[in-house]
Amino acid sequence: MRYISSQLERNIRIVALSSSISNAKDIAQWLSCGTTSFFNFHPNVRPVPLELHIQGLNVSHNASRILAMAKPTYQAIVRHSPKRPVAVFVPSRKQTRLTAIDILTFAAADMQPGPDDKPQSTFLHVAESDLDPFLDKISDKTLKETLTNGVGYLHEGLSDREKKVVEQLFNTGAIQVVVVSRNLAWGVNITSHLVIVMDTQYYDGKTHSYEDYPVTDVLQMIGKANRPLQDKDAKAVILCQSSKKEFFKKFLYEPLPIESHLDHCLHDHFCAEVVTKTIENKQDAVDYLTWTFIYRRMTQNPNYYNLQGVSHRHLSDHLSELVENTINDLEQSKCISIEDDMDVTPLNLGMIAAYYYINYTTIELFSMSLNNKTKIKGLIEIIASAAEYENIPIRHGENNILKQLATRLPNKLTNPKYNDPHIKTNLLLQAHLSRMTLSAELQSDTEDILGKAIRLIQACVDVLSSNGWLSPALAAMELAQMCTQAMWGKDSYLKQLPHFTSEIIKRCKDKGHDTIFDIMEMEDDERNALLQLNDSQMADVARFSNRYPNIELTYEVQDKEQIRSGSGINVSVTLEREDEIVGPVIAPFFPQSREEGWWVVIGDTKTNSLLSIKRLTLQQKAKVKLDFVAPNAGHYNYTIYFMSDAYMGCDQEYKFTVNVKEGDSDSDGSDSN
């Protein structure tokens, strides 16, 4: 089946509300407008007819079948597209290199000697000297060699620059063949005359078995055979196991129904809609579903959605049951509350989940796992267990690599299962904080993990502050800094500075310079002599130093002499940035661009209590007010914490005291007389 994503479902709903869609037929037309509008706006471009060949091999062993497909792949190139561009899709990164070498090996056997008795390259359509400027940008020696013979390969392990070079050489016709890994089917910017899908199974590390490609992936690969301005036709060859041949015939030659997946993620949609008060009772939830694509498809394909019939009664009962189960699950996870068995209202956990766009099971996990003694190690374990990381891939043989990696990390795990994506997430987070060099695949996985980590950490801060726990909330804020700068809390703050090696940091500490402000305040000659960096490196250091936050904080406890037990304590905090340059956080080890954020916290270290918290962004100047209820009469020591979520070493602490007097409890009694 081809599924429709929840994002697309949301788009359909938006268009429906704008009256562009009123029925299922309109949805079908809207979905197809991406291609029809292209041909309407480009009258000289017409759809390219596709000639599809499906070839089965009667070999059940996966590795043997891949080997057996090498010769048919080369023969398909020679037969169907001897001079025009060819894209070959293979299951794994390793196979891209092997297949490229196999194709060149078969081609070398068929080549005729040139004038100088050297074989003439079949697939290279420019002079070798013309490739030199491009080859200089490539560090992969094997890729350099194959490109000089007209065959390139693309996989997730190549750098962005290398990928762009190969794509450019292929799209301009300099090289004729490119071999692409399955994972890049949706990410490469190439089109060809012939596409060859070399096997249709991949290894799933979680199940330890070979799984079939989704039909949508196969369609995406075949869709790369599409050059309407250059070709009058396109060709595709699918090489697969013989038993799969009829399956692909059926689903590739016949139209595919588009089905909804909304019921797989309905909890998070309902939670968000309850928070925004779009849904205020169970009847609103049912009405909400009638505006979605899943409602249109239920009557068209009832078996797929487990309906017993298509009558109005069957449909109504199914929707009611779906809503009832979903609402009950949200209530059990303490995201919403149900009143009078009908009305629904959002709770604090639901608001946090909706605000940070995280799974309802994740916020339930945070609520159950976090406590007033949680430290950095526990925070990493809890965040790594989030539902957002369930789909982190485990590749063939990767459990052995992770096992070796675990021995080099500071936080040891008890009886870890290395084929568990949550264990892998924990290890890669630790490796990131340790700035370890990882393979291309693991680095790619780390970037995916970090892309979600900051909002998960911020959600942890909200859960902890809601419970009034000070030290774990501060630890979570510190973890956000650590993930952004790829450092452990015990590391020197100087490690954030570009080009600062361990030797330079040691020289600085020996001279008594422990903070970035110490480096900034040094005289130029003294700094140059100490750091021993060239002009370009010093410019990078200066750029970071200018962006490093230098913020002055002042505070005032309002009506300090009039505070009585049970009344409110109001603290006004003024923040002013002394440095003028404001911009994205400089964090070369963090995969995404992000803006800096801040927390202002008032806490009582003696009781480990977080009394008030505000999150803010700061341009040049800001003023925030924090308030909390005065405790029983007595003398109290409080601390204001000003915490960054991106830079280490720029946090501030200010202690202040409050003398709380007895509340005026007799006033009500005297008034009543």
- What tens digit of pLDDT does each residue of 584-602 get? 888 889 988 888 899 999 9
Q: If 0-12 CB within 10 Å is exposed, 13-18 middle and 19+ buried, where does residue 453 land?
A: buried
The span from the CA of 77 to the CA of 225, in Å, is: 13
The span from the CA of 241 to the CA of 57, in Å, is: 5
The span from the CA of 437 to the CA of 385, in Å, is: 24
CA 479, 484, 488, 493 dihedral sign is negative
Q: If 0-12 CB within 10 Å is exposed, 13-18 middle and 19+ buried, where does residue 553 land?
A: middle
Provide the whole-model pTM. 0.80
* pLDDT, position 662: 83
The closest of 258, 214, 186 to 9, measured between CA atoms, is 258
In the 8-state DSSP scheme, what is residue 284? H
Q: If 0-12 CB within 10 Å is exposed, 13-18 middle and 19+ buried, where does residue 375 land?
A: exposed
Are 592 and 451 within 8 A, CB to CB? yes
CB atoms within 10 A of CB 113: 9
Which amino acid is residue 237, in one-letter code?
Answer: V
CB atoms within 10 A of CB 337: 14
Are 463 and 371 within 8 A, CB to CB? no
| Structure-block tokens of residue 356 | 């940070």
Residues in the chain, pLDDT under 50: 1-25, 27-43, 666-673
The span from the CA of 639 to the CA of 632, in Å, is: 18
What is the helix (H) or strand (E) element at residue 543, kind and residue range? helix 535-547
* pLDDT, position 246: 87
Are 65 and 172 within 8 A, CB to CB? no
The closest of 76, 32, 35, 74 to 54, measured between CA atoms, is 76
Q: DSSP letters of 112-174?
A: PB-TTSSBPPSSB-S-HHHHHHHHTT---HHHHHHHTTTEEEE-TTS-HHHHHHHHHHHHTTS
Are 198 and 89 within 8 A, CB to CB? yes
The closest of 33, 12, 34 to 23, measured between CA atoms, is 12
| Domains in the chain with CATH codes | 1-42 (no CATH), 50-109+121-253 (3.40.50.300), 261-346 (1.10.10.10), 359-546 (1.10.3380.10), 549-660 (2.60.40.150)
Q: If 0-12 CB within 10 Å is exposed, 13-18 middle and 19+ buried, where does residue 253 land?
A: exposed
Q: DSSP letters of 415-448?
A: S--TT-HHHHHHHHHHHHHTT----HHHHHHHHH
CB under 8 Å, gap of 24 or more: what pairs does 273-277 form?
A: 274/330, 274/335, 274/336, 274/344, 274/345, 274/346, 274/350, 275/346, 275/350, 275/351, 275/354, 275/355, 276/354
Are 500 and 509 within 8 A, CB to CB? no
Helix (H, G, I), strand (E, B) or coil at 663: coil
Are 638 and 656 within 8 A, CB to CB? yes
* pLDDT, position 664: 66
The span from the CA of 366 to the CA of 386, in Å, is: 8
The span from the CA of 487 to the CA of 479, in Å, is: 9
In the 8-state DSSP scheme, what is residue 262? G
The span from the CA of 138 to the CA of 157, in Å, is: 13
* pLDDT, position 590: 92
Residues 6 or more apart from 114 whose CB is under 8 A from it? Answer: 120
* pLDDT, position 398: 85
DSSP β-ladder status, 50-57 and 234-241: parallel
CA 547, 549, 550, 556 dihedral sign is positive
The span from the CA of 450 to the CA of 462, in Å, is: 19
Q: DSSP letters of 349-404?
A: HHHHHHHHT--HHHHHHHHHH--TT--HHHHHHHHHTSGGGTT----TTHHHHHHH
Give residue for tokens 């510190």: 478
The closest of 177, 148, 221, 190 to 84, measured between CA atoms, is 177
* pLDDT, position 30: 45
Q: For the chain, what percentages of helix, strand and coil (3-state, to nearest 5) are there?
A: 45, 20, 35
Helix (H, G, I), strand (E, B) or coil at 305: coil
